[in-house]
Amino acid sequence: MKKKIYFNSVFGALAFFISVTAAYCQHRNILSVRLNGETKELNIQQEFIYHNSSKHTLNLLYFNDWAHAYSNKNTGLAKRFAEEFKKSLHLAHDDERGRTTILSAVDDEYRGLQWERTVEKDILKIILNKPLRPGEEVQLFLTYNVKLPPDKYTTYGYNNRDEYYLKDWYLSPAVFDGKWHLYSNKDLGDLYTDITRTTVNFRYPGNLFLTTNYRNLGTSSFPNGKQTQLEALQQKNCEIVLSPFQKFKTHVTPYMTLVTDLGSPKYDDISQGISIDKVSRFIYDNLGKYPHAQLLVSQKDYDESPLYGLNQLPSFVRPYEEQFQFEMKFLKTALNKFLQETLYLNPRKEQWLKDAISNYLMIAYVETYYPDQKLLGKLSKIWGIRGFNLAKMDFNEQYPFLYMLTARKNLDQALRTPNDSLIKFNQKIANKYKAGMGLSYLADYVGKDKIDQSIKTYYKHYSLNSAKVIDFESILKRSTDTDIDWFFKDYLSTAKKIDYKIKKITKLDDSLRVTIKNKEGTNVPISLFGIKKDSVVSKYWFTDISGEKTFTIPRGEEERMVLNYDHKIPEFNERDNWKSLKGFFSSNKKLQFRFFKDAENPYYNQVFYVPVLNFNIYDGWSPGMRIYNKTFLEKPFVYDFAPSYAIKEKSLVGYGKFNYRKYLSKSGLYVANYGLRASTSHYQINSRYSTITPSIAFGWRPENLRSNKRDFVSLRHVNVFRSLDDNLENIETDPDYSVLNARFTHVDNGIIDYFSWFADAQYSENFSKLSFELEYRKLFENNRQFNFRFFAGKFLNNTIEPNVRFFDFALDRPSDYLFDYNYLGRSEETGLYSQQIIIAEGGFKSKLQNPFSNNWMATVNTSINVWRWVEFYSDMGFLKRKNEKERLVYDSGIRLNLVTDYFELYFPLYSNNGWEISQPNYEEKIRFIITLSPRTLTGLFTRKWF
């Protein structure tokens, strides 16, 4: 006890000394700013006094100039957007870009200072005229203009309603602690800047109202304008919101003053005030006093980090009560802002700690005030929905569930991964949730009171200072005698999976002998629950299980034993977490049939079914039932059957497949797929084809998971069985055949620069062939997109009769003998369905005479924008048949590139056929690409997240 008192006294004295020293030694910053409403510019005069608190002599200083990140397409911000398939900044006109124009930079002797920008353009390097020794100060005078960007790129800037949201808008000092920490703006909200004592004199148009996170010392008016003076003593960057409307309200609570424009149209103002008081009291009780004048909690901040999931549905279908919805929205935003304004961690490298505290407290808030809240809210009570496992999940179970979305895809990343190296889903959701779960997991293991007190202690002694994660680790370890090294070494620092199973339970007279297996080798504590009906009757924690270990526990009223029953541990696979004590057969999982996809239920073998409807002109509409086992979370073994009834042919069609996916590592050779697929359908009237295809494929990716580069090797054996209606002409080839197909594919799927190629080899009884395809797309800054595609193919061996063209290379419409393409009418030679085109092999759009080659073919396809999605295309190539001279082929026309690869129209103009546009029946020459698959289309929207 004496040790704890002594420890707290030392901590208090040290904190007081640090705070006094920081207040005296911090940088001082005075800004005189004028907003020009017509030009959307800030005219800034800045006096900055830099105090060298390091032990090093400085010859240069670095300043964050994040407003300049919008200046061109080569900044770190523009590159980040391109990685996430956002092209708005790349294509922006010059007058829509933001930038900083430096007018002058002088020291206290009014001598000019040399300055330059770093490679990514938004860090300013200022070279001092004389060395700055430890403990000394230098005074800088900087004059510059900031052209504000529109808010269509991020939430910051101005909009067409004459509103402004200013954040990271002026030059702020980069952090130096023995080395410079220089981080570019990547729209992550993680500016790393030193603490300053700042005064801002801000002039702006008289019709606007100003709201800020700084202390407002007063506003004065003058003709056509206002001036507000702002001040912060120990704070970081100044945020300012300007609007023609007074939409922010100030809530003065006993715990802090909050300024917010968050609201809910169906939740009245008085109730909102009560909820805000409730939330602020919760934050105060769990963290402590807010040290600044006011906490700004804005809708813009919420939009940057919303409550993902059902909360984002339109208001008329939102499943939660208005009070719960508002409080969670306000709590999340207020917590994020509170911690951002007080814990000055390195946000690029140590963001996980603030995320951990914020999400841990959100979990605690729901446990305290809404313990019965379900994930689906009011929807969980509706007939037809309430039976789903998803509807039975508690609200807080979303944290392991959403984290597992990337873990099951082998895309999870360690919590200590730098913020800008995370894929978007991890940066926005999964890692934040895993961090919060980590503290909740630790609290369940060592005691919630110890974690709560550790958070308070850390906040009390390290807020408003240069905080470090190592200090939080020290406080946690001192709070308990239990070994928690695993939390920092494994849980935080690696992406190792946690996965245990109950291998065996032996029942003795008065005890149970339980054997637990660690399937992944991640040695962390695991909880074991004894369950009777749906009630917990016993609970145990086990540690130090590196492989298998047997434990003996008392035998009570337990009916089954379950690992991680409360889902506090983000475990990779919970399907083998339980054993029944009622006998062998009672441990077998029963079948559970569910309409539509559901969350995993570890106590059942789930089978899902959903109606499907397919179409081609031979089968007509084909309604059927899809039966599969794939849940919302990816699983290694998947089966999928879709028997359907072809109304036109009055027969069964459909497909069935088995697939096993094994993730091997995070990078390099990372995945192996083993599959078996069978399908049957009709390719002509009363003419059926069936395929059976076993396959194996391997994938490679780089260490940087944000990279879109991937390499694949696949090997498959396609077996085709065909029948032909007696009334039609004979099949020109053997009806049944097999093709062994090997392919290597490289793809770098970028929205600005797209590059891919593949090499393909096929072997069959009567032929063997090689082919190569390369595709490149370039989106230029003026919104011109250039597309280039090259294809070359050569038969190595071909004993098929020359008049048989089924296996030949094709210029414009491959015969698709491997049945890879989704033709609506694959055997059609005339009519609308024959005009469908799939860009493969020759890639031509015009229908030319003799478009097949049984020897070799090489073609080039190009297109370029004329206006927006209107493009001019041109194709050219050579093809050669056996015993014939090679031919030059070409065509050209207009392409309407409405959605690349998904919906396109082609209008031929000139080709080997002459001027096609002037020829009869031109409408029959128009070609189209259409993709009807919902799964393929949803890939357009999910690609930026994973």
**Nearest Cα residue to 747 out of 784, 785, 714, 793:** 714
Cβ(733)–Cβ(800) below 8 Å: yes
- The 10s digit of each residue's pLDDT in 583-623 is 765 567 888 898 988 888 888 899 999 999 998 899 999 99
CB atoms within 10 A of CB 131: 12
Mean pLDDT, range 172-192, rounded to an integer:
94
Position 935 scores a pLDDT of: 62
Position 21 scores a pLDDT of: 43
pTM for the full predicted model: 0.91
- Beta bridge pairs of residue 579: 561
Q: How confident is the model at residue 22 (pLDDT cuts 50, 70, 90)?
A: very low
**Cα(82)–Cα(749) distance, rounded to whole angstroms?**
10
Residue 85: is its pLDDT beyond 70?
yes
Residue 551: is its pLDDT beyond 60?
yes
Cβ(156)–Cβ(168) below 8 Å: yes
- The 10s digit of each residue's pLDDT in 298-320 is 999 999 888 887 666 666 667 89
Q: How confident is the model at residue 15 (pLDDT cuts 50, 70, 90)?
A: very low
Q: Helix, strand or coil for residue 326?
A: helix
**Nearest Cα residue to 632 out of 398, 366, 411:** 398
Top CATH class of 500-585 equals mainly beta
Q: How confident is the model at residue 8 (pLDDT cuts 50, 70, 90)?
A: very low
Residue 455: is its pLDDT beyond 80?
yes
DSSP secondary structure letter of residue 849: S
Q: How confident is the model at residue 686 (pLDDT cuts 50, 70, 90)?
A: confident
Mean pLDDT, range 70-91, rounded to an integer:
90
Position 589 scores a pLDDT of: 80
- The 10s digit of each residue's pLDDT in 252-280 is 999 999 999 998 888 999 999 999 999 99
In the block, tokens 């509170």 appear at 338
The two structure tokens encoding residue 88: 């708005």
In the block, tokens 């048989």 appear at 804
* DSSP state string for 469-535: HHHHHHHHHHT-SS--HHIIIIIIT------EEEEEEEE-SSEEEEEEEESS-----EEEEEEETTE
**Cα(500)–Cα(484) distance, rounded to whole angstroms?**
19
Q: Parallel, antiparallel, or unpaired for β 180-181 and 175-176?
A: antiparallel
> For the chain, what is the total number of helices (H) and then of strands (E)?
16, 47
**Cα(529)–Cα(564) distance, rounded to whole angstroms?**
7
Cβ(946)–Cβ(937) below 8 Å: no
Residue 707: is its pLDDT beyond 80?
yes
Position 751 scores a pLDDT of: 87
Cβ(47)–Cβ(141) below 8 Å: yes
Position 20 scores a pLDDT of: 41
Lowest mean pLDDT of 1-10, 273-282, 855-864, 937-946, name the range.
1-10
In the block, tokens 């920490």 appear at 181
The two structure tokens encoding residue 87: 């092209």
**Nearest Cα residue to 569 out of 413, 399, 455, 412:** 399
Cβ(172)–Cβ(142) below 8 Å: no
User: What is the overall mean pLDDT for the chain?
Assistant: 91
Cβ(341)–Cβ(295) below 8 Å: yes
**Cα(316)–Cα(200) distance, rounded to whole angstroms?**
43
Backbone φ and ψ of 738, nearest 5°: -135, 145
Each domain of the chain, given as residue ranges in start order, spans 27-186+196-236, 500-585, 656-942
**Cα(802)–Cα(617) distance, rounded to whole angstroms?**
30
Residue 380: is its pLDDT beyond 80?
yes
The two structure tokens encoding residue 141: 């005078």
Position 58 scores a pLDDT of: 96
- The 10s digit of each residue's pLDDT in 718-742 is 999 998 877 766 566 778 999 999 9
C-alpha distances in angstroms, 831 versus 617, 825, 847, 924?
Answer: 11, 10, 13, 7
Instruction: Give the angle 676-679-685 at the CA atoms, nearest 5°.
Output: 160
Position 2 scores a pLDDT of: 39
Q: Kindly give, in sequence order, each residue whose CB lies less than 8 Å from that of residue 481, ignoring residues fewer than 6 positions away.
A: none
Residue 591 burial (C-beta neighbours within 10 Å; 0-12, 13-18, 19+): exposed
Lowest mean pLDDT of 84-98, 209-223, 538-552, 836-850, name the range.
84-98
> Amino acid identity, residue 158?
Y
Q: What is the CATH topology of the domain spanning 656-942? A: Porin (2.40.160)
- The 10s digit of each residue's pLDDT in 216-258 is 999 999 988 999 999 999 898 899 999 999 999 999 999 999 9
**Nearest Cα residue to 871 out of 836, 897, 892:** 897
**Cα(626)–Cα(594) distance, rounded to whole angstroms?**
12
Residue 19: is its pLDDT beyond 50?
no
Position 590 scores a pLDDT of: 84
- Beta bridge pairs of residue 776: 755, 788
**Cα(412)–Cα(171) distance, rounded to whole angstroms?**
35
Top CATH class of 27-186+196-236 equals mainly beta
Same fold, 500-585 and 656-942: no
